[in-house]
């Protein structure tokens, strides 16, 4: 096939046809190579898949020899674009009949499952996990899983589906962060509750900076998440990160007074912590909030 004339935006006639859901039933009438790409690396098949035009998708693959596994400039395939848009019928057909490679990854190592999970398309996720049987624990180049992507985006139904499908709730990314930490950092309270109460996520796990899920929530002023972690989950409020700072100190530095007030009753003075850890009293410091200063004043006590 030869490449036909293009429109001002760089698309060939075949791409314009699929974008409108119109089928041109012969290659001669189309007058264009079905695998021609526009300036973004998109083919007619990618556009049709991303817009849910299954008849056009079938025609391009069956009659025009469109390459189902070619990628755009972001490494996305037609299958990934269909999954991102939630077109389950297109996803099923591309995999079952179109020859789409389920194991291909986008530029950052994203899989079709990760894309569907982040977008919250539960029907696509369910089919991929429970019907097709994809690996739910595959990681991208940052060590992120589909569960982390869903948790970060607040997709609670997807989270449940992935965990039921065998997703490891406590696996870590390259920064040693878990799905729970990601959800806490985004203030996704419903997902946080689900991960802990339904999925059994570990609440006091530390990342590579020594920070827990509580740090993630408190340092971003997500008070509902902090309240749940402290009052319902009894997380460790007194843990310190690798720089020696507690979550209360970091929240105070950011001026999150409501969070500091919530955490303060659970804070142990350094003297108590030292006694518990070593059996010796070596002195302690307390933090007192000064309303006029809108910050914390450290009160030192001798040993």
Tell me the pLDDT tens digit for each residue of 17-50: 544 555 444 443 555 688 999 998 999 999 999 9
118 backbone φψ class: left, alpha, beta (φ>0; ψ -120 to 50): alpha
pLDDT of residue 299: 36
Average pLDDT (294-298) is 44
Domain with CATH 1.25.40.20 in the chain: 34-107, 111-202, 205-267
Which of helix, strand or coil describes residue 60?
helix
Fold annotation for 205-267: 1.25.40
Q: Quick one: pLDDT at residue 268?
A: 85
pLDDT average, residue stretch 89-112: 97
Q: What is 111-202's CATH topology?
A: 1.25.40
Phi, psi (rounded to 5 degrees) for 294:
50, 40
Scored b (16 or more CB within 10 A) or e, 211-239 reads: bbbbbbbbbbebbebbbbbbeebebebbe
pTM confidence score? 0.82
Averaged over 169-195, what is the pLDDT? 99
Mean pLDDT in residue range 91-101: 97
Q: How many residues does the chain have?
A: 303
Q: Which fold has domain 34-107?
A: 1.25.40
CA dist 120 and 84 (Å) reads 9
The region that residue 221 occupies, defined by phi over 0 for left and psi between -120 and 50 for alpha, beta otherwise, is left
Q: Model confidence at 290, in pLDDT bands (50, 70, 90)?
A: very low
Whether 242 shows a pLDDT value over 80: the answer reads yes
């Amino acid at each position: 096939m030869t490449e036909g004339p293009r429109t001002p935006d760089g698309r060939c006639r075949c791409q314009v046809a699929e974008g409108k859901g119109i089928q041109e039933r012969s290659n001669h009438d189309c007058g264009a190579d079905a695998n021609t790409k526009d300036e973004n690396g998109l083919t007619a098949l990618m556009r049709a898949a991303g817009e849910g035009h299954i008849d056009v998708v079938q025609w391009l693959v069956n009659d025009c020899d469109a390459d189902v596994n070619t990628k755009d400039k972001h490494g996305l395939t037609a299958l990934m674009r269909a999954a991102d848009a939630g077109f389950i019928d297109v996803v099923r057909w591309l995999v079952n009949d179109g020859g789409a490679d389920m194991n291909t990854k986008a530029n950052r190592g994203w899989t079709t499952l990760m894309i569907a999970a982040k977008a919250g398309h539960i029907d696509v996720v369910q089919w991929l996990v429970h019907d097709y049987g994809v690996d739910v624990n595959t990681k991208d180049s940052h060590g992120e899983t589909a569960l982390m992507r869903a948790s970060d985006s607040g997709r609670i139904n997807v989270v449940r589906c992935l965990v039921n499908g065998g997703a490891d709730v406590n696996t870590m990314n390259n920064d040693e962060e878990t799905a729970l930490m990601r959800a806490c950092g985004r203030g996704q309270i419903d997902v946080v509750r689900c991960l802990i109460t339904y999925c059994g996520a570990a609440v006091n796990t530390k990342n590579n900076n020594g920070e827990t899920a509580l740090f993630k929530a408190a340092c971003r002023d997500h008070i509902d998440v902090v309240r749940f972690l402290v009052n319902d989950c009894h997380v460790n409020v007194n843990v310190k990160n690798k720089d020696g700072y507690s979550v209360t100190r970091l929240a105070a530095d950011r001026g999150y007074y409501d969070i500091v007030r919530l955490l303060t009753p659970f804070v142990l003075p350094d003297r108590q912590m030292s006694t518990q850890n070593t059996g010796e009293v070596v002195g302690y410091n307390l933090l007192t909030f000064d309303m006029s200063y809108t910050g914390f004043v450290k009160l030192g006590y001798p040993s």
